[in-house]
């Protein structure tokens, strides 16, 4: 049943067994799992059936770290949540998003990745991944590239170098969620979905150990309360920590935040262009459709990508990594920067700093330091200058066109406590404090991507496939890094309350009946798009809740 919460009398008290806050991917999945299960469910959604500007304005906030998408436009605050933002053309006029499980290595505690390790390994989650794939309607279950390739039309690239492999991404359409699941939920007698219902406070007992209910408010409308035995927050990686930090009546630092972890470890999947692969035989491009063409096999849209093998990730002590081949005809001069890159050297950076300062009529800061760096690396300066001349000559005189791949990566970001969501002093239309997002990448994130790129280059060369022109150095972040609208990690899972916000069952540490569903619980994020793991983890949580309600 769909209920417009604005029609409720002010201060209404609603009783339910389970209150789910947020009707996005996780909230819909959980409610769908509870259809007909003999439990009364109240599902709260901030927006309506269609988006509206005023509800979306509640998402507004400020980016104070790395440049990131505007916080009010990178999410969807209406029924279906971020499922509505799946915008990839997957054929047949359908829109969808990539789905793939995390790799086994992503669950491991890796000594070279601080704060890594899930409380369980991938084999534990595999049965839930299978169920998630059925919900996403991306069966057959296999992810073996041999099952999705075509030796004639779209063969698998073979590498003698055992560090590089082909991986398959499937595409899940919006319909299984926005039509299938939502239709079932709306028709279910045991589920009441309240639209325009903004959760503003998680209410607890005096001890602060048990949630008694959720206080909700409508814009220009009533406030009301949902009292429930179990409360599940499924508001995504930014709003979930926000609501927890705002719920500070009993716990001054916010609910579940005794160890100052709520909002920390924000992670994205950094996307950036690494460089170009120029094949020796341009004709080979026509045989790599598996990797750059969304195509349908057995009714499922798929595409291949190139990843590191898990053994290579462990052996080389890297973060996980995947790259996509985008075939392009491009002017040869576009390769100039990749062929003749700047030398990553302090001396070169000092020359730039001195030039920049002098061009504005000022003396450079730390002039002595710059001169010292220059003296130490004068040869780097000459090499860099020579390369610049070559680049300029290419831009001016090289009119050839080349067939090449533009290589774009989607890599794992390491967990970083300083990359975080916090409350700002501004308030929204409901009087709730907005957020600051301080997205940070560290040196390891960049170095690992560059090293992964070099491994791929070696594999391409060993095969005689071509060579790879890198645009990056180890220390300088590329100018344009984007994310994938994947906001993760801000209420991380760990068995130890000093290292995680939720326990292995997604229950908030120190709280008897408060759970979190969604990507905010991921302690590490691999390279795979988060949807399938969100659904798998939510199905797992649904089993736990069903078991608890039976008891």
Partner 1 sequence: MTTPRWGMVIDLGRCIGCSGCKETCAQFNGLPRGAQWRRVIEKTLGEGSERVRVFISMGCMHCGEPSCVGVCPTGATRKRPDGIVIIDPNSCIGCGACILACPYRARSITLDDPIRMPGEDPGITSFGIGVCTKCDFCCDRIDAGLEKGLKPGVDAAATPICVRYCLGEALHFGDLNDPDSDVSRLIRENPHVVRMNQSLGNDPAVFYIPVNEEHQQTHESDPHHPA
Using CB under 8 A as the criterion, which residues of the chain lie in contact with partner 1 when the complex forms?
A: 48-57, 60, 70, 72-73, 76, 84-85, 87-89, 93, 95, 153, 196, 219-220, 285-286, 289, 292-293, 295, 326-331, 334, 401, 403, 406, 426-428, 434
- Closer residue to partner 1 in complex, CB, 95/104: 95
Nearer Cβ to partner 1, position 383 or 429? 429
| Minimum distance from residue 427 beta carbon to partner 1 (Å) | 5
Cα atoms in the 13 Å half-sphere on the side-chain side of 207: 5
Q: Closest approach of Cβ 430 to partner 1, in Å? A: 11
CA–CA distance from 139 to each of 76, 151, 409, 536 (Å)? 27, 21, 26, 14
> First and final CA of the chain: distance in angstroms?
27
Q: Minimal distance in Å, beta carbon 1 to partner 1?
A: 17
Shortest CB 441 distance to partner 1, Å: 23
- Is the CB of 72 or the CB of 495 nearer to partner 1? 72
Q: Which residue's CB is nearer to partner 1, number 6 or number 451?
A: 6
Interatomic CA distance for residues 372 and 464, integer angstroms: 43
Contact 98, 171 (CB under 8 A): yes
Tell me how far, at minimum, the Cβ of 114 lies from partner 1, in Å: 35
Q: Which is nearer to partner 1, 284 or 374 (CB)?
A: 284
Nearest distance from C-beta of residue 50 to partner 1, angstroms: 6
Nearer to partner 1, 285 or 517 (CB): 285
Q: Which is nearer to partner 1, 329 or 375 (CB)?
A: 329
CA distance 185 to 170: 25
Q: Cis omega (within 30 of 0) on the bond before 140?
A: yes
Place of tokens 């997957």: 90
In angstroms, the Cα distances linking 396 to 254, 331, 334, 335, 516 are 60, 12, 11, 13, 57
| CB distance 427 to 297 below 8 Å | no
Q: How far is the CB of 428 from partner 1 (least distance, A)?
A: 7
Q: Is 507 helix (H, G, I), strand (E, B) or coil?
A: strand
Instruction: Give the phi and the psi of residue 404 in degrees, each rounded to 5.
Output: -150, 170
In the complex with partner 1, the residue whose CB is nearer, 129 or 405, is 405
Nearer to partner 1 by C-beta: 115 or 196?
196
Can you say how many angstroms the Cα of residue 362 is from the centroid of all Cα atoms in its chain? 42
Nearer to partner 1, 24 or 489 (CB): 24
CA distance 273 to 251: 44
Q: Give ∠ CA 33-94-4 in degrees, rounded to 5.
A: 50
Give least dist CB 542 to partner 1, A.
Answer: 28
- Cβ closer to partner 1: 318 or 335? 335
Residue 96 burial class via C-beta count within 10 angstroms: exposed 0-12, middle 13-18, buried 19 and up? buried
Closest distance to partner 1 from the beta carbon of 177 (Å): 15
Question: Nearest Cα to 114, choosing from 492, 454, 409?
Answer: 492
Angle at CA 384, nearest 5°, toward 382 and 388?
A: 115
Shortest distance (Å) from residue 153 CB to partner 1: 6
Residue closer to partner 1 (CB basis): 253 or 331: 331
DSSP E strands in 433-472: the ranges are 433-438, 466-470
**How far apart (Å, rounded) are the C-alpha atoms in residues 69 and 532?**
23
Smallest gap, in angstroms, from Cβ of residue 466 to partner 1? 14
Q: Distance (Å, rounded) from C-alpha 235 to C-alpha 421?
A: 14
Q: Could you tell me if 172 and 529 are in contact, meaning their C-beta atoms sit under 8 angstroms apart?
A: no
> Counting every residue, how long is the chain?
551
Q: CA torsion angle for 376, 380, 381, 384 (degrees, to 10)? A: -170
Q: What is the smallest separation between the CB atom of 344 and partner 1, expressed in angstroms?
A: 25
């Amino acid at each position: 049943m769909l209920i417009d919460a604005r029609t409720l009398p002010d201060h209404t008290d609603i009783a339910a067994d389970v209150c789910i806050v947020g009707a996005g991917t996780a909230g819909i999945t959980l409610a769908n799992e509870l259809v007909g299960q003999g439990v009364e469910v109240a599902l709260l959604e901030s927006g309506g059936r269609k988006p509206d500007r005023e509800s979306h304005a509640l998402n507004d906030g400020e980016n104070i770290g790395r440049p990131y998408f505007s916080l009010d436009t990178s999410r969807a605050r209406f029924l279906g949540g971020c499922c509505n933002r799946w915008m990839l053309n997957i054929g047949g006029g359908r829109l969808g998003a990539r789905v793939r499980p995390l790799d086994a290595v992503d669950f491991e505690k890796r000594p070279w990745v601080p704060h890594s390790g899930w409380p369980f390994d991938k084999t534990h989650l595999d049965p839930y991944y299978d169920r998630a794939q059925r919900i996403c309607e991306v069966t057959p279950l296999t992810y073996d590239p041999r099952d999705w390739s075509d030796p004639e039309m779209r063969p698998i690239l073979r590498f003698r170098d055992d560090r590089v492999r082909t991986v398959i991404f499937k595409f899940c359409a919006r319909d299984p969620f926005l039509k299938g699941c939502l239709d079932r939920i709306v028709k279910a007698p045991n589920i009441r979905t309240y639209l325009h219902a903004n959760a503003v406070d998680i209410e607890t007992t005096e001890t602060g150990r048990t949630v008694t209910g959720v206080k909700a408010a409508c814009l220009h409308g009533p406030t009301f309360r949902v009292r429930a035995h179990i409360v599940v927050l499924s508001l995504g990686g930014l709003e979930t920590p926000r609501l927890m930090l705002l719920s500070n009546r009993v716990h001054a630092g916010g609910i579940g935040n005794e160890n100052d972890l709520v909002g920390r470890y924000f992670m994205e999947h950094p996307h950036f262009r690494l460089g170009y692969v120029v094949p020796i035989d341009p004709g080979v491009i026509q045989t790599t459709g598996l990797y750059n063409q969304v195509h349908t096999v057995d009714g499922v849209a798929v595409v291949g990508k190139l990843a590191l093998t898990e053994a290579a990730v462990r052996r080389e002590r890297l973060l996980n990594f995947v790259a996509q081949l985008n075939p392009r005809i491009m002017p040869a001069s576009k390769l100039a920067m990749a062929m003749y890159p700047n030398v990553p050297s302090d001396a070169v950076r000092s020359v730039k700093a001195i030039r920049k300062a002098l061009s504005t009529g000022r003396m450079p800061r730390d002039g002595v330091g710059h001169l010292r760096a220059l003296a130490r690396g004068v040869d780097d300066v000459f090499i860099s200058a020579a390369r610049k001349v070559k680049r300029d000559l290419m831009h001016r005189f090289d009119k050839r066109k080349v067939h090449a791949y533009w290589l774009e990566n989607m890599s794992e970001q390491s967990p970083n406590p300083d990359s975080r969501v916090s409350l700002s002093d501004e308030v929204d239309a409901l009087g709730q404090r907005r957020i600051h997002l301080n997205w940070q990448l560290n040196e390891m994130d960049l170095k690992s991507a560059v090293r992964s790129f070099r491994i791929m280059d070696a594999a391409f060369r060993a095969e005689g496939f071509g060579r790879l022109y890198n645009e990056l150095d180890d220390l300088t972040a590329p100018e344009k890094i984007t994310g994938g609208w994947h906001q993760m990690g801000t209420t991380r899972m760990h068995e130890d309350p000093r290292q995680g916000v939720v326990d292995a069952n997604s229950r908030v540490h120190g709280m008897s009946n408060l759970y979190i569903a969604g990507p905010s619980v991921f302690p590490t994020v691999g390279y795979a798009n988060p949807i399938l793991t969100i659904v798998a983890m939510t199905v797992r949580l649904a089993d736990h809740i069903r078991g608890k309600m039976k008891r």
